[in-house]
């Protein structure tokens, strides 16, 4: 009888510890941090004579092995609503840039891109950045963010 009680205590204690670690882990925001956007970020992007625009972000080292993918979204305007979405793409977890055809951008318009890290058990907050597109030569200073198509 005593061994059954001890066994029961071990099982209950183990389950309580396991459940407690799950609850505590889900409360740690750094386990799914918001990605750091590198470019374009809040500037005027000169796409004159450019065929593509490359979006770049910094890799997060923490739980990389548990990351499933990046959720990339591009919106026309500053409002990140479904009606304004131009692109929704799952980016592989070991890829830290995404190239878009410059033909989708209109001169003088503002665009917003968003990115979040998606794990099996949670998603990060979405990081956002807006930028204005200029397509006329000499209308804006080149930022280096546009990548010439070759």
Domain boundaries, the chain: 1-31, 32-147
pTM metric for this prediction = 0.71
pLDDT in tens, 111-121: 999 999 888 87
Q: Could you read off the pLDDT tens digit of each residue along the chain, which spans 150 residues? A: 655 554 544 444 444 444 444 444 444 545 678 889 999 998 999 999 999 999 999 977 666 667 789 999 999 999 999 999 999 999 998 899 999 999 999 999 999 999 998 888 788 889 999 999 999 865 444 444 444 333
Cα separation of the two ends of the chain: 78
Long-range contacts of 119-123 (CB under 8 A, 24+ apart): 119/31, 119/32, 119/63, 119/66, 119/67, 119/68, 120/66, 120/68, 121/26, 121/66, 122/26, 122/31, 122/32, 123/32, 123/71
Return the CATH architecture of domain 32-147.
Sandwich (2.60)
Closest CA to 91 of 75, 113, 69: 69
On whether the CB atoms of residues 87 and 72 are closer than 8 A, the answer is yes
């Amino acid at each position: 009888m005593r061994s059954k009680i001890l066994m029961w205590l071990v099982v209950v204690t183990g389950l309580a510890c396991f459940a407690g670690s799950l609850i505590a882990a889900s409360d740690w925001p750094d386990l799914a941090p918001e990605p750091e956007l590198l470019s374009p970020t809040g500037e005027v992007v000169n796409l004159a004579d450019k065929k593509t625009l490359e979006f770049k972000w910094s890799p997060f080292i923490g739980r990389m092995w548990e990351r499933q993918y990046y959720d990339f979204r591009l919106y026309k305007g500053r409002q990140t609503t479904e009606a304004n979405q131009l692109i929704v793409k799952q980016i592989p977890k070991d890829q830290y840039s995404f190239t878009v055809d410059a033909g989708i951008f209109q001169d003088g318009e503002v665009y917003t891109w968003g990115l979040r890290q998606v794990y099996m058990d949670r998603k990060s907050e979405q990081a956002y950045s807006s930028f204005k597109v200029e397509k006329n030569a000499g209308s804006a200073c080149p930022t280096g963010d546009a990548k010439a198509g070759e």
